[in-house]
Amino acid sequence: MSTPEFVLALREKVGHAPLWLPGVTGVVVRDANAPDPEVLMVRRADNGAWTPVTGIVDPGEHPADAVVREVAEETGVEAVPVRLARVGVTEPGVYPNGDQVQFIELTFRLEWRSGEPHPADGENTDARWCAVSRLPALGQDMRARIDAALADDERAAFFAGGELVR
């Protein structure tokens, strides 16, 4: 994944020390009222995993604007946020270069407006619509993000340690 400039600048000062960063996940839904709606999925270039679009919120950027920007940058799809679906905290992680990170993760449900998905910025090797009934294999956390976005509940779900804490 492409590292934002502000993170690179922080890394110059803190080295590999843990960083707490705001992250967003965009679950873009097309044909929401269809019997089997479609969700926008990308195949990540760094590990080959299928996920919804994810990204980092830039300093001063509203998270809803960040998720719209990330979807457009990564897939060429235009979408609008409908609601905040989930708030979670990822497990601490370490990148191959030794950088430590943990994310407060905000999952948004978005509605498709226009555009056909394609890997637009090099962060992904594929981008496509997938029927909810035929999603590719997903990790438990990514599946939980999608499920929260697709739920009929208008309230956001709050997760800590993999458990719903609402």
pLDDT digits (tens, 9 = 90+) for 66-123: 999 999 999 999 999 999 999 999 999 998 999 999 999 999 999 999 999 999 998 9
For residue 56, the SS3 value is strand
Q: State the number of CA atoms in the 13 A half-sphere of 111 facing the CB.
A: 7
Distance CA 66, CA 49 (A): 22
Residue 143: predicted pLDDT:
96
- With H, G, I as helix, E, B as strand and everything else as coil, classify residue 150: helix
| pLDDT (tens digit per residue) in 86-99 | 999 999 999 899 99
The model carries a pTM of 0.92
Domains, the chain: 18-161 (3.90.79.10)
| CA 28 from centre of chain | 10
- Start-to-end CA distance of the chain, whole Å, equals 32
